[in-house]
Amino acid sequence: YNPIEHIKTRIKTPESIVKKLKRNGHDTSIESMIKYVNDIAGVRLICSFTSDIYRLAEMIGNQSDLKVLSIKDYIRNPKESGYKSYHMLVSVPIFLSDSVVDTKVEIQIRTIAMDFWASLEHKIYYKFE
């Protein structure tokens, strides 16, 4: 049984990184980016059932090549808006020709219904910005 219905990936654009740093009051240096921008790379796993979310999170946590840095469980603790999702910040080794660089990646795990709500909420919020 494969609990994953869809996988979405994205890499933040340099413009988006600069905008986020400025919005949060940080200077736009490489050092600030490394320290304050945790979602330069993102993966969203969409599944059918809430139980699948926790199963996938456990599997990710058990991977020997990944290090879980933080977890935000917006399913057990939804945001005021009703937003629900399970977020993991992980450190992933990126193998370069002469070295290995640990890179932060945000993994969001949610159901199809949660993804629909999050997409709608995002459009409503950013429509007025």
Would you call 12 helix, strand, or coil by DSSP?
coil
Tell me which residues are annotated as active site: 106
Q: What is the largest CA-CA distance in the chain?
A: 46
CB neighbour burial string for 13-40, b if at least 16 within 10 angstroms, e if fewer: eeeebbebbeeeebeeeeeebeeebebb
